[in-house]
Structures are given as C-alpha cells and as structure tokens.
C-alpha cells in the first residue's frame, strides 16, 4: 500500500510541476496581453496592477483547488484499496465465498467484481471437495460394516467346523452351505461396490449407441419371464408400437433394467403382477416398473436410491441384497442425462426411468 502511496505522491508532484509551468506560461501570456493592451490603449498603471494581481490570485487559487481535489479523490481510492487488500486477505485465510463491497464503476470495481466471482467459485469448489471427502469416509465406514457382517458369520461357521462341533453329516453340510452362501454375498457386495465406485469416478467412459428402447425392454422381459413365473409373479409388459430411440451405453443401461426387475422379483408381494410399461413424456421416454409391495412412507421412498439403504433390512439380508442396486441404477441413469424416481400408492410401488429421446 505504501508503494502505491509513494507512486501517487510522485505523480501528484509531477502534476503540480506541470500545472505550475502551464499556469506560469498562461500568466506570462496574460502579462504580455496586458502590456500590449497598455501600449495600444494606454490603460492606467493602477488598473494594470489590479489586473496582474487578479491573474496571479487566479493562478494560485486554481493550483490550490487542483491539489485539494486531487488529494481528496486519491485519498478515497487509497482507503478503498486498503479495504480491498484486507478483504482479499480475509477471503484467502478465513472464508472463501465472502465478498468485497463494490464501489463506483471503474477498473477497481471491475477488479472487485472478479475477486468476488473467484471467491464464490473457490467456495463452491471447496464445498464440492469436502462433500466428496465426506462421502468417501462414509462409504468406507458403510463398507467396513457390510463386509464385517458376512465375514463374522463365515468365521463363526468355520470355527464350528474347525472345532468339529457338529453331530451329524447333515449338520456339517448345513454349516458349509451357510458359509458358502455368505461368501457369495461377499463376492456380490465387492462386485457391486467396485461397479458403484467406478461409476462415481470422473474417468468413466460410456459407449453410446442409438438404439430402440422398445426392443431392449421386450428382450429383457422375455428373458426374465420364466424367473417371474417361478416366483408366482406375472410379468406384464405394455410396450407400444411407436418406437422410442435413445442414446445409451447398452451394457450399462441393461444393468439398470435388470436391477429394477431383479428387485421386483425379490421384493414384490407374491403372488402378484409386475407391470412394465413404456410411454413418451416430455421429449423423452419413460419406463415404469410397478409391483405390489408393503406400503412405504415418503421418508423411506426418498432414501431408496441412497447407497446401502434397505427398506426392510432383515428381509433384504435374507434375500442377499447389497443395498447398492438402486444407487448403481441412479448413477447410470444420471450419466445418461436421465432421471430415476420411485412412487408409492397404497400397495403399489413403481420405479420410473426417464431418458431423453435421440432424434438422430
């Protein structure tokens, strides 16, 4: 700040010298003019002296006014620059996102505007990083919990086998089967976890293809039909003749439909109907999968897509869920610029996926 003050003082000094010489020049011209008037019109000496005094006073007063105004303006600017410097320090050390008051409309106010933009940008970047960091630590603690549960159970059964604590061969087989089942759960969880974290990464690349969604859904419904029959569920597709073309990574997108159908298969109340429909909506296409389910409150409905969220914890564990299926589906749909949501009405739960249509 002192540097600026010295620089400005130096400029002021130069300006005073310049204005001094300019005014001096002007005064000399006035003097000459007066003496010319004196020679030509023979004005009295007294009047000449008055004229000289007036022009000298004007000269002194104008320099005075110039210096005073210059000082007032510069002083305000210096105070403002001091304030800006303090705020920038505060933003850097205390609080990203805080701003500088904008005064006037010149290069300095432009600079403040840009500092404010930078401060807000830094804040949103910082918040985003912090969110990622929090979400990572949450993920690690969720994962450790979910890995520990089957692992404890496997260890328990292996301990029984190790200590030969079984009476019959059937009992031995049961223990082995349970332990094996738990290792499958672990495998599932690790695979899903791997897929979920990959989808969260920025480097994920999708292999887009323009495909007809009707054909894809139709094919999956045909493939899943027998599995639903076995569970006393009637899979009812309602796919229109109008073809809906979308730009998707087929491998990833099929995973979304399979996750939703897999859930309907596992969690639907049985016997029942699982309806799969396709229809156009808002320049896009909506796929809805409806099944009968225990009534679900709005709060749980909003959390269904959170990772590791299970509506009925004990039942989902029984069916071997990892709680990642819907979180994976959500990540995939959002990578496709689509949206996914659940709606509940009485005993019907429906999962909806909207995708923009691809016109060419």
Task: Name the residue whose CB lies closest to Mg ion.
Answer: 325
CB-based contact 297:338 (threshold 8 Å) = no
User: Binds 96, which of ligand ADP, Mg ion, none (CB < 5 to 8 A, cut-off by type)?
Assistant: none
- List 239, 316, 340, 355, residue binding ligand ADP (CB under 6 A): 316
Distance (Å, rounded) from C-alpha 162 to C-alpha 156? 10
Is 293 strand, coil or helix?
Answer: coil
| Closer residue to Mg ion in complex, CB, 272/325 | 325
Interface with ligand ADP, residue 253, by CB under 6 A: no
CB-based contact 277:288 (threshold 8 Å) = yes
Distance (Å, rounded) from C-alpha 175 to C-alpha 211? 48
Cβ neighbours of residue 267 under 8 Å, at least 6 residues apart? Answer: 291, 293, 311, 312, 315, 316, 319
Distance (Å, rounded) from C-alpha 50 to C-alpha 58? 12
Interface with ligand ADP, residue 291, by CB under 6 A: yes
Interface with ligand ADP, residue 331, by CB under 6 A: no
Stretch that binds ligand ADP, among 64-72, 108-116, 205-213, 323-331 (CB under 6 A): 323-331
Interface with ligand ADP, residue 304, by CB under 6 A: yes
Interface with ligand ADP, residue 119, by CB under 6 A: no
Interface with ligand ADP, residue 293, by CB under 6 A: yes
- Residues 256-285 binding ligand ADP (CB under 6 A) are 259, 263-264, 267-268
Interface with ligand ADP, residue 196, by CB under 6 A: no
| Closer residue to ligand ADP in complex, CB, 253/311 | 311
Provide the 10 A C-beta neighbour count for residue 314: 7
Interface with Mg ion, residue 325, by CB under 5 A: yes
- Residues 253-292 binding Mg ion (CB under 5 A) are 263
User: Binds 91, which of ligand ADP, Mg ion, none (CB < 5 to 8 A, cut-off by type)?
Assistant: none
Distance (Å, rounded) from C-alpha 30 to C-alpha 24? 10
Interface with Mg ion, residue 192, by CB under 5 A: no
Task: Kindly state the tokens that stand for 180.
Answer: 């094996």
Interface with ligand ADP, residue 186, by CB under 6 A: no
Stretch that binds ligand ADP, among 17-25, 29-37, 170-178, 320-328 (CB under 6 A): 320-328
Q: How far is the CB of 151 from ligand ADP (least distance, A)?
A: 18
> Which segments of the chain does DSSP mark as H helices, in order?
2-41, 45-93, 107-162, 169-200, 213-230, 250-267, 298-303, 313-318, 325-335
| Closer residue to Mg ion in complex, CB, 157/351 | 351
User: Binds 179, which of Mg ion, ligand ADP, none (CB < 5 to 8 A, cut-off by type)?
Assistant: none
Task: Name the residue whose CB lies closest to ligand ADP.
Answer: 321
CA dihedral (247, 253, 256, 258) in degrees, to 10, reads 130
Distance (Å, rounded) from C-alpha 221 to C-alpha 201? 31
| Closer residue to ligand ADP in complex, CB, 100/274 | 274
Distance (Å, rounded) from C-alpha 242 to C-alpha 226? 27
Give contact residues for ligand ADP (rule: CB under 6 A): 259, 263-264, 267-268, 291, 293, 304, 309-312, 316, 321-327, 349
């Amino acid at each position: 700040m002192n540097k600026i003050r010295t620089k400005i003082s130096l400029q002021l000094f130069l300006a005073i010298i310049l204005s001094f010489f300019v005014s001096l020049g002007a005064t000399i011209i006035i003097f000459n003019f007066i003496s010319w008037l004196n020679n030509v019109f023979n004005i009295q000496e007294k009047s000449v002296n008055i004229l000289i005094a007036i022009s000298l006073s004007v000269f002194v007063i104008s320099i005075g006014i110039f210096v005073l105004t210059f000082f007032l303006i510069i002083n305000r600017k210096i105070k403002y620059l001091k304030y800006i410097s303090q705020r920038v320090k505060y933003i850097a050390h205390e609080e990203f996102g805080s701003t500088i008051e904008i005064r006037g409309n010149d290069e300095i106010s432009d600079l403040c505007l840009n500092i404010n933009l930078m401060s807000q940008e830094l804040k949103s970047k910082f918040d985003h990083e912090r969110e990622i960091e929090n979400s990572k630590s949450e993920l690690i603690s969720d994962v450790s919990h979910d890995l520990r549960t089957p692992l404890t159970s496997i260890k328990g059964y292996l301990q029984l086998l190790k200590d030969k604590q079984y009476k019959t061969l059937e009992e031995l087989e049961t223990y082995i089967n349970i332990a094996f089942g738990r290792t499958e759960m672990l495998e599932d969880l690790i695979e899903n976890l791997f897929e979920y974290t990959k989808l969260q990464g920025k480097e994920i690349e999708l292999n887009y293809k323009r495909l007809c969604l009707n054909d894809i859904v139709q094919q999956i419904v045909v493939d899943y039909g027998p599995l639903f029959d076995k569970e006393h569920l009637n899979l009812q597709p309602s796919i229109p003749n109008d073809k809906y073309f979308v730009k998707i990574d087929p491998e990833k997108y099929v995973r979304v439909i399979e996750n939703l159908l897999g859930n309907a298969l596992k969690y639907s109340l049985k016997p029942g109907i699982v309806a799969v429909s396709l229809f156009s909506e808002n320049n896009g296409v909506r796929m809805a999968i409806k099944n009968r389910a225990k009534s679900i409150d709005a709060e749980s409905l909003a959390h269904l897509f959170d990772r590791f969220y299970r509506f009925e914890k004990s039942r989902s564990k029984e069916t071997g869920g990892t709680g990642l299926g819907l979180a994976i589906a959500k990540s995939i749909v959002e990578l496709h610029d689509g949206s996914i949501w659940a709606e509940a009405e009485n005993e019907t739960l429906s999962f909806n996926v909207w995708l923009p249509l691809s016109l060419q």
